[in-house]
Structure 1
Amino acid sequence: MSQLAVVGGSYLEACSSPRSIVYRGSGVRAACVLAGMGNTVTLHTVLGNELAGEFEQIASLKGFALQAARRDHEITFVYQHPLGVPEIDGESVGTEPRSAISADAALVFGMIEGRPIVHGDRVVYDPQDGDRAASFSSNGSSAKELAIVASLSEARSLSGKETPEDAASELLNQGGHVVIVKCGMLGAVVATAAGLTWIRAFPTDYVWKIGSGDVFSAAFAHAWLVEGLGVLDAAWFASRWVAEYVSTRCEALGAAELERVRAEAAAQAMPRNRPTINPKPIYLAGPFFNTAQLWQVEEARTALHDAGVAVFSPIHDVGEGPADEVAPEDLRAIRECGLVLALLDGLDAGTLFEVGYARALGIPVVAIAESVEEQSLTMIIGSGCIVRSDFCSGIYEACWQLLVDE
C-alpha cells in the first residue's frame, strides 16, 4: 500500500432535494475513496468541536488516519439541489495555527479555513473556491511535480483566460506539470508539455453531482501518484470512477468493480477533440403559474446556460399574452429546437401538449418527473421520451443528448 497525504476540508453537507445530510467535505470524501482503494491515507484537516467525534468515527470506519486542528464552529454547505450554488454557513471561524506538511505524495484541496503550507515531491492540487481560487504556491507551498485539477471557473480565475484550452495552457506556463480543466458534462481538458487533449464524461441515468469533483481528483491521484499511470490514462480512469460515484454515491469499490472501471476507462483512453454541442436550443417546457413552478423553470434555465447550452424558455422568450399570439410562437420554437426538456410535475396541460407535439415531429424529449405516478407517464414513456425522476439527472441527460462526439 502507498502512503498518501490528503489535505482538505471536513464539513457538513446538506441538500434539500433529494434530501441528504452527510459529514464529508472534499478532504474526507477523497480520503474515503483513496483508503477504499487500499492506500494508507492521512487526512490533514480542521474539525469543529461539535462534530469532531463524527468525523473521527468516519476515519476509523473507512480506514484512514486523522491529523486535525480545531476550529470554534462547524462549517455547513447547504444545497437546494445538487446543481445549485451552496450557501456556506460558518465561513468566518477561528482556527488553530497549523504546521507545514511535508509528503512524498499528496492530494491538496483548497479549504474554507485556508490550507496549510505543503511541501511535496508529487502533488495533485484541486484549488476549489470557484472564481476565488488561489494558486498552489500562493501560501508558500511547493512541489517538485505539480498536477492542477481545476473546474473551469477555477481555471479561469487562476489563469485569466476564458476557454478551457487557453486556461490549461496558461497554467502550464505558470509552472504546472499537468493541468486538467474539468468542464462538467463536456468532460475535461488534459494538458501536459506534450500537448493538449480532451477526455469524456461517462453518461449515467442518475447523477448525484455533489462531491463528484472530489472523487475525480482522488481517483486521478491514485492512478497517477500510486499506480504510475500516464496522465491521459489516469484522467480517463478518474472520469469513469466519477460515473460510478454519481450513479450510486459509492466511495469504495470491490476488487471486481474496480477492475471493471479500470477496463472500461482503458477502452476509451485515447486523445479526443472537444465535443460539439448541437447549436439548436433546448425548448424548456413547463408551467410557470406560481412561485414554485417559476423557480424550477429559472433553475433549469440557469443550469442549462451554465452548461453552455442554448435555451428557449417560453416565459422568458415569448412572455404572457393572448393564446392566439403566444401559442404559434411557442410551437414555432419547438419546431426549431434540438430537444424538449419537459418539467412534468403537476402534469400541466400545456406542457403535455408540447411534449406530444415534439414527439409527433420526431423531436427528442427528456422529461423530469419527480412527483408523478408511473401510470400517468404511459404515453410519455411509450412515445419514446427519456424520463428522469430527479432534477439534476434530467438536466445532465438533456445536455448529453445534445453532444455530438468527434
Structure 2
Amino acid sequence: MRKRFTLYMLVTWLVGHCASGFAPPVGPSPRLLHRAEKNLTRAIMHDIFSPPAASRIYLYANVAAYETLVMQDENYRTLHGQVAGFPNIPGLKSDKKVNYELAAVYAFFKTGGKLVFSEHLLTDSVNVILNDFREKDTLVYNNSIRLGQAVSDSVLSWSTKDNYASTRAKRRYTYSKQKGKWTPTPPGFIDAVEPYWSQIRPVSLDSAGQFKPVPPHAYNTDTASLFMKEVREVYHVTRKLTQEEILIASFWDCNPFYLNTQGHLNFATKKLSPGGHWISIAGQAAESKNKNWQETAAAYVLTSMALFDGFISCWDEKYRSQFIRPETVINAYMDEKWRPLLQTPPFPEYTSGHSVISAAAAVVLTAVLGDHFAFDDHTETDYGLPVRSFKSFKEASEEAGISRLYGGIHFRSAIVNGQVQGDRIGQHLLSRIKVKR
C-alpha cells in the first residue's frame, strides 16, 4: 500500500502538466523514473535474481525508457545503428499528442515486468498511475500508452534473441576435479551460478572474450609460490580488520542470497545485487545535479550497458579459469576453522565481479556526469548501513574492489586484474555507443 500511495503522489505532478491536452516538453525532474528504478530493484530482490541475470533486467528496462524519450530529443541518439541487431522503433505520427515521460515510464514498467517473476509488484504500482491519468486526459493517455507499449514490445522482442532462453536449458554444470579448481563453499555449498553466461549476447562487445584478462597465478601450494603469497595475504588481512574495513566490506557485500544458518534452520536474507548498487549510484548522482529526464535516462542506460557487458566478460573468465576460492585453500592448508567475513559466492574466484562491473560503471558515469564528481551514497541505508561519501566514481569503484579482499572472498590479483578488465570494457562501450549527437 505504501508503494501505491507514493507513486500516486508522484504522478500528480505529471498529470497537472497534461490536463490541458497538450504533451509538455520533457520536464527538469525525472522523479517518476527514479521511483520506477527503485520499484524494479525491489522486484529483483524479491525474486532473488543472480547478479548477471539482474543486470539483464536493468538493461532492457532502461533501454526501453531511453528509446522512448529519445524520440522527442534531437540532441540524443537512438541505439538503432549502434547496437548490433537493435530494432528501428517507429514513433507515433507527428500530429499525435504524447507525454513522453509517461510513455517512457510505462515502457520501463512493461519491459521490466515481463523479465521478473513477480510482475504484480510493478503492475500494481503502474496501474495506480494509469487509472488516475486516464481520467484527466484520455487522448494523451491513449497515445502515450500506445507508444510505451510499442517500445516495450520491440525491446522485449530484441531481448529474446540474446540466448538467455537457451542457457536455461543447458545441462547442469560439471565441476573440474583438477587441483586448484573451484568447488562449492560453505555454508550452503550452492551449485554454480550462471556457468553459461558467456553465451549471452553482449551490447557493445564483439565477443565475451574480447577483454580476456591475464590468467591468475598458477595454483601452487609451495609456501614460496606467488599463489600462496596471495592466500596468506587474505588470511592475515581478514584476521586483523579495522572497523572501517569491516564497514567497507559490509557496504559493498551486495549478496542477493545470504544464507543464514542457525542449527538446523536455514533461511535467506535478500540483499541488493552489485549491479543494483551501481544503478542506485547512477540515480543518486543524476538527481543530485538536477539532471533532466533525457540526461538521467542516458546515465541509467549507459550504466546498465556497462554492468551487462561487464558481467558477460567477467563470467567468461570465471568459467574459463575456474579458479579456487580463498576459503577452500585456507581451510585445507592453513586453518580449517577460518571463515571469511562475507559469504563466499557460488561461482569461481577469478576475476572479481565487483571489480569488473564497478570499474566499467565508474568509467561511463565519469563520462556522463564528470570526473571528480563528489557524491554521497545512500544505497545501503535501507539495510542498516550508514551513508558513505566519495570524491569520484573511480574512488567508489576502487573501494568496491578492495572490499572483496577485506571480505575474504577474493585474492588481490582477481581485484586488480578485474579492475583493468572493467576499465577496458567501459572505455570500449563509450567508443562504440554515443548517446549524444
Same fold (TM over 0.5): no
TM bracket, shorter-chain basis: under 0.3
The structure carrying a bigger helix percent of its residues is 2
The structure carrying a bigger strand percent of its residues is 1
- The TM-score normalised by the length of structure 1 is 0.24
Larger RCO: 1 or 2 (CA < 8 Å, sep 6+): 2
- The TM-score normalised by the length of structure 2 is 0.22
